[in-house]
Structure 1
Amino acid sequence: MLEDRYCPHCQAKLQSWIGPPESGWGEILVCNNNECTFFRNSNCDIRNKDEDNSLGCRYAEDPDNGYQSFNLLAWYKF
């Protein structure tokens, strides 16, 4: 059982997510709050992407790597 962790950007509880087998991840923790400032501003932070591309990033942590944080690529549509 994973410990409760919270997004440092919006304080929402991170939710468990099982990565696809080909990703090499097991269970990771993800902020799924669509109002999170990290997520809402992320579509402007991806370098070299097309203007009409709807990609952004969600805050995530990998429990198998000491809860190291990383940007999880996500569909962004508002």
Structure 2
Amino acid sequence: MLEEHVCPHCGVKMESWIGPPESGWGEILVCNNNECVFYRGSQHDIRHKDEDSNLGCRYALDPDNGYTAFNLLSWYK
């Protein structure tokens, strides 16, 4: 059972997500709030990407690594 966490950027409860097998992740926690300021600004924070790319990042925590925060690459709406 994972600890409950809220996103420090928007205060919304983070949701459990199972990473794809090739990622090496097991279960992680992800902020899926499309209005989160971290997510909303992430499309401009990714360096060296094509300008017409729809990539962004979501705030995520890795429970297997002491709930260390990381940027989860995602499709930006």
How much is the aligned-residue C-alpha RMSD, in angstroms? 0.4
Confirm or deny that 1:36 pairs with 2:36. Answer: yes
Identity in percent? 75
Please name the residue that 1:74 is paired with.
74
Give me the TM-score of the superposition, normalised by structure 2.
0.98
- Write the distance in 2 (CA, Å) between the matches of 1:22 and 1:50: 25
Match of 1:48 in 2: 48
Name 2:21's counterpart in structure 1. Answer: 21
TM-score normalised by length of structure 1: 0.97
Unaligned runs of 5+ in 2: none
* Cα distance in 2, alignment partners of residues 6 and 31 from structure 1: 8
Report how many residues are paired. 77
2: CA distance between counterparts of 1:62 and 1:27? 8
Q: Deviations over 1:19-41 (max 9, x none)?
A: 00010000000000000000000
